[in-house]
Amino acid sequence: MTNHAPMLKPVQDVGIVGYGAYIPRYRLPAREVARLWKSEEGGLPIREKAVAGLDEDVVTMSIEAARNTLARAGISPSEIRAVWVGSESHPYAVKPTSTIVAEAIGAVPHTQAADWQFACKAGTEAVQAAIGMVGSGMAHYTLAIGMDTAQGRPGDALEYTAGAGGAAFLLGPAAESLTIIEGSYSFVSDTPDFWRRANERYPEHGQRFTGEPAYFKHIEAAAHTLMEALGSMPADYAYAVFHQPNTKFPQRVAKTLGFRPEQISAGLLVPLIGNTYAGSALVGLTAVLDVADPGVRILVVSFGSGAGSDAFSLRTTERLAGRQGLAPTTQDYVARRTEIDYATYSRYRGKLVMK
Amino acid sequence: MHAPGSALPEILVAGVGLTPIGEHWEKSLRSIALEAMTAAVEDAGGLRPQALFVGNMLAPALSAQTHLGVLLADFAGWRGIEAATYEAAGASGGVALRQAVLALASGEMDRVMVVGVEKLTDRIGSSVEAALAAAADADFEAVQGLTPAAQAGLLMRRYIHEHHVPEHGFAGFSLTAHANAVGNPRALYRRAIRLEDYASAPMLSDPLNLFDAAPVADGAAAILLTRGDRHRPAGERTPIRILASAVATGPLALHDQPDPLGFEAALISAGRAMAQAGMAARDIDLFELHDVFSIYAALALESAGFAERGQGWRLAAEGEISRTGRIPISTLGGSKARGDAGGATGVYQAVEVVLQLQGRAGEAQVPEAQVGMGQCLGGAGATVATHILARADRL
């Protein structure tokens, strides 16, 4: 039996019961990186990026987003049957982030917990699996988180954009959902466009290879396949969110796929917070949910290097109205801003070698 | 049997094939070579070659592959034929073409395929730059960090100093190449650029900027040649003859050249080719030179006799190198805008000359072209291969 059935659809309908974002308050302007490294070829890729503070990491940030999610979902954390965290900045190489998060929010011990890894789509991979977990009836609620404090080698092109932030989503039965998952799809291939080997501090990338054969190919294929399976068109969606490694890529892929700039603007956060890697598409989705009316459709397509894309088609429900204000909105976090210079950034991000 | 005017026996072009130059991430070295070879065979009405001469520079360094002759002959389904690779850095394709001409002229063969192929995009950044730098003197230049762009930058600085070239004096080479590439569907950059684009380009190796340098990418070009007395190409197409083929070398290291701006190997190579063809610069209708750096285009024009020493840049500044100018160069974009596929360049040039002479260059057609010259460079002009082709019906 081959796996050519295009769309992923669980036995029981699943939706998003709660959502929450977290973005740290510090901002490093791209011009500050350019000031130090003397490189502004072709303009700056974003305005500024969010930087985690000294006492923040993927664990603390995931807990913040999870608490916001629980506030909107209005359920007891003890009802959560799985806590999954997707990231490429897990604080430990061996020891789960997810158990710390589960413990902190009160979801232990009758829960499954695991960390996910797939470059920038680790978070949506966790969402994809959570749909299966809930849709199969194994769990009533599953918490899926995409969160990163992304690494960029000093002076590398990625240092301009490698930001911090992410979002958490509580997946549950469609009947309780703020947003129903109409269908989803995953498209992967062995494409080595970006990687970080074990024990390396910073990732490496294939320069222009990260564009056409990686980002664009996978996002376009995933979006096309899902929309074809659903019989939907770009015009059917009020909003679309694509993975955001810089400002240009999501704008270009949206145009290629036939989306108008207005459809992506609400979820396009990268100019102001940078690329939040495993959190990127997901935190964009939270910004959309904050402003979306009931009954509209949203297309979300992530991209993870290595490489693959997860695509989700969502439809908001009447339940969304009234929940949006139960936790800080994503734009509240974007606006909560303390600018830092490169020296402070170096200290906060542990870039000074002390011994 | 030697036709009047040329010292070579009648060597005719039976067919040509080209792949677009680009970042062919989805294709391997052998696939792009096969594309070009298959196209050339089809163009020649299915003619099967007796031998395959491969021009390639970087396969050992960037694809971990030597032995391209048999690799490509086997992949093409030509087991049993003679095949080998010729390497002379950026002049590899021209040197392979020269070997094919010699094989045909000797009478030993009468149907020969030449393919130039380069695959650069499987590696990135410094490894590509290091492989390209190996074309210079490894012990005395490359090891010091001298890259091809740095060599060209040194020569350009000296040229500007000696010949009092004004600011942006070399811009015409880049502007013309980009304007010409718009009409070439196989070009890497089919976009015209403005003087402002050139003037604001980032510096690579002062005074050489990004638009003074050709982009390197993947590509393959193939040409199938026959001896006219044993196999005449069939069909209506204008017959094209190779009138001259010459390879010359100079000192490998830039610091060993007594007169670096004299571009001595190019002078010798072009001189030999013109003598062989019984022609002078005024008889040449178009010149596919190796504009891997704009300074080399100026030096090539001077050493081939199209401009006085120190005046080559003026041809570009005064529009004389455009398709309707006195000596059109880079007519399909050249290395600057068609793209530079390293050791494949000499074969690209020969194929492009053929397309022009046969009136098959489409929107990029040079009007009334009857004689064309191609010239590729290895390193900073250390190896230079020059070929002159002409419409056989007009000789």
Is A1's pLDDT higher than 60? no
pLDDT of residue B2: 44
**Preferred mutation among B27, B62, B124, B211 to probe A, highest tally of A CBs within 10 A:** B124
Question: A41, B121: Cβ pair inside 8 Å?
Answer: no
- Tokens encoding A250: 């999501």
pLDDT of residue A4: 63
What is the rounded radius of gyration, in angstroms, for the C-alpha atoms of chain B?
19
CA B296 to chain centre: 12
Closest-CA distance of chain A to residue B124, Å: 6
What is the reported pTM? Answer: 0.85
The residues of chain B scoring below 70 in pLDDT are 1-4
In this structure, are residues B81 and B51 in contact, taking their beta carbons and an 8 Å threshold? yes
Chain A, nearest residue to B201 by Cα: A41
B23/A contact by beta carbon, under 8 A:
yes
CATH homologous superfamily of A179-319: Thiolase/Chalcone synthase (3.40.47.10)
What is the rounded radius of gyration, in angstroms, for the C-alpha atoms of chain A?
19
What are the structural domain ranges in chain A? 14-178+322-348, 179-319
A vs B, Cβ pairs < 8 A, gives: 13
Distance CA A190, CA B368 (A): 51
Q: Mean of the per-residue pLDDT values for chain A?
A: 95
Question: A209, B125: Cβ pair inside 8 Å?
Answer: no
Distance CA A161, CA A7 (A): 32
- Tokens encoding B229: 């007395």
Interval B56-83: pLDDT, tens = 999 999 999 999 999 999 999 999 999 9
Strands (E), chain A: 14-22, 26-29, 48-51, 80-86, 112-116, 141-149, 164-173, 179-191, 194-195, 204-205, 239-242, 297-301, 306-316, 338-339
Which of A206, A208, A213 comes nearest B26 by C-beta? A213
Interval A188-224: pLDDT, tens = 999 999 999 999 999 999 888 889 999 999 999 999 9
Q: Which amino acid is at B321?
A: I
CATH 3.40.50.300 describes domain B11-394: no
CATH 2.40.10.120 describes domain A14-178+322-348: no
pLDDT of residue A40: 61
Per DSSP, B217 falls in state -
Question: B26, A41: Cβ pair inside 8 Å?
Answer: no
Instruction: Starting at the earlier edge strand, list the strands of the sheet with A141-149.
Output: A112-116, A80-86, A141-149, A164-173, A14-22, A179-191, A306-316, A297-301, A239-242
What's the rounded mean pLDDT across residues A76-96? 97
Contacts of A209 in chain B (CB under 8 A): 23, 25, 121, 124
Distance CA B321, CA B328 (A): 4
Active site residues of A: 88, 120, 243
Q: B162: buried, middle or exposed (CB in 10 Å: 19+, 13-18, 0-12)?
A: exposed
Interval A320-350: pLDDT, tens = 999 999 999 999 999 999 999 999 999 999 9
A216/B contact by beta carbon, under 8 A:
no
pLDDT of residue B1: 39
Q: How far apart are the first and last CA of chain A?
A: 57
Domain A179-319 in the same topology as domain A14-178+322-348: yes
What's the rounded mean pLDDT across residues A174-180? 98
B203/A contact by beta carbon, under 8 A:
no
Q: How do strand B82-86 and strand B51-55 relate by DSSP bridges?
A: parallel
- Interface pTM (ipTM) of the complex? 0.70
Closest-CA distance of chain B to residue A208, Å: 9
The dihedrals phi and psi of A229, each to the nearest 5 degrees, come to -65, -35
Distance CA A266, CA A165 (A): 17
Helix (H, G, I), strand (E, B) or coil at B361: coil
